[in-house]
Amino acid sequence: MKVLVVGATGGSGKAAVTALLRRGHDVTVFVRNDAALGDLAGRSTVVTGDATRPEDVDAAVRGQDAVVVTLGISENPVRVRMRGPAGTALDVRSRGTRNIVAAMGRHDVRRLVVQTSYGVGDTRGKLPRRYALMFRALLGPQIADTEKQDALVRGSDVLWTLVQPVNLTDEESGTATTSDTGEVGGWHVARGAVGEVLADAVERPDYAGKTIAVS
Domains of the chain: 2-214 (3.40.50.720)
Distance (Å, whole) CA 52 – CA 49: 9
What integer pLDDT is reported at residue 140 of this predicted model? 84
Distances (CA, A) of 18 to 6, 38, 79, 111: 14, 12, 30, 19
Distance (Å, whole) CA 15 – CA 193: 8
Q: Where are the alpha helices (DSSP H) in the chain?
A: 11-22, 54-61, 77-83, 92-107, 129-154, 191-203
Helix (H) or strand (E) holding 9, with range, is none
Distance (Å, whole) CA 84 – CA 89: 9
Distance (Å, whole) CA 25 – CA 6: 15
| Maximum pairwise Cα distance, the chain | 44
Distance (Å, whole) CA 214 – CA 133: 20
- Angle separating helix axes 92-107 and 129-154, nearest 10 degrees: 30
Distance (Å, whole) CA 67 – CA 115: 11
pLDDT tens for the chain, 215 residues: list them.
Answer: 999 999 999 899 999 999 999 999 999 999 998 877 888 888 999 999 999 999 999 999 999 999 999 998 876 776 767 777 887 888 999 999 999 999 999 999 999 999 999 999 999 999 988 888 887 777 888 899 999 999 999 999 999 999 999 999 988 888 899 999 999 999 999 999 999 999 999 999 999 999 999 99
What integer pLDDT is reported at residue 75 of this predicted model? 66
Q: Residue 125 phi/psi, 5° resolution?
A: 90, -5
What integer pLDDT is reported at residue 78 of this predicted model? 66
In this structure, are residues 118 and 126 in contact, taking their beta carbons and an 8 Å threshold?
yes
